[in-house]
Amino acid sequence: MSSILLPEFCLVLLIGASGSGKTTFAGKHFKPTEIVSSDWARGRVADDENSLEATPDAFELVQTLIEIRMRRRMLTVVDATNVRAEDRAKLTAIAKRWDALCAAIVIDPGEDICLDRNKLRPDRQFGPHVVRNQRSALRKGLGGLKREGFREIHQLMSRAAIDDAVITRQK
Ligand code: GTP
């Protein structure tokens, strides 16, 4: 069982390919109001959670929300793929400005599971290369997470590890 201990105030980045189960994991372990999701933000700025064209504006909203929640010292979870170091850097920079601890929770049940799940999702009918590229970027970045400033790094690399994870808040 993976036991994840988080301080009451921190920025948590979920890191995982499409179909890995980030949104499901976030919903299981965090309050809806603690979760800032890129899909949700795309919906807010474009009326379409899948609008790729809206991604820059959606991330502006994601970053603004993170900034405000960090200022208010509210634990915040970012539900986005976050597989590229340069994308993570923009988010961790905000946390560092507000002296928030950064935690990374890597979610990877494996390529086959991500692909199988996406096959069942009408809004995720992109080619398998998308998940492959995301997982490859994710794996490339794992070794550098500490250097990026993550103080808590948890890797849930199987369906069992993801299912069994327990998150506790430090009092
Ligand atoms: P993106 O939004 O595309 O990045 O995906 P995601 O990583 O947020 O995955 P999400 O949680 O949306 O799950 C994708 C699909 O897999 C959904 O249809 C979920 O119902 C399903 N799913 C996620 N986690 C689990 C799980 O632990 N078990 C099972 N059986 N299905 C899951």
What does the pLDDT read at residue 104?
98
Residues with CB under 6 A from ligand 1: 16, 18-24, 39, 81, 117, 121, 124, 163
pLDDT in tens, 125-142: 888 999 999 999 999 999
Counting every residue written for the chain, the total comes to 171
What does the pLDDT read at residue 79?
98
C-alpha torsion angle, residues 121, 126, 131, 136 (rounded to 10): -170
Locate 122 and state its tokens. Answer: 């009408």
Q: Whose CA is nearest to atom 30 of ligand 1?
A: 117
Rounded to whole angstroms, what are the CA distances from 119 to 114, 126, 166?
9, 9, 29
Query: Rounded to an integer, what distance in angstroms lies between the CA atom of residue 109 and that of residue 93?
Result: 28
The residue behind tokens 């929770």 is 105
What does the pLDDT read at residue 78?
98
CB atoms < 10 A from the CB of 16, how many?
A: 26
Q: Give the residue ranges of the chain where pLDDT is below 70.
A: none
What does the pLDDT read at residue 123?
87
What does the pLDDT read at residue 125?
84
What does the pLDDT read at residue 127?
85
**CA-wise closest residue to 138 among 115, 164, 119, 110:** 110
Query: Rounded to an integer, what distance in angstroms lies between the CA atom of residue 153 and that of residue 12?
Result: 10
**Ligand 1 pocket, mutate which of 13, 14, 18, 23 (most atoms under 8 A from CB):** 23
Quick one: which atom of ligand 1 is closest to the CA of 38? 2
Query: Rounded to an integer, what distance in angstroms lies between the CA atom of residue 40 and that of residue 27?
Result: 13
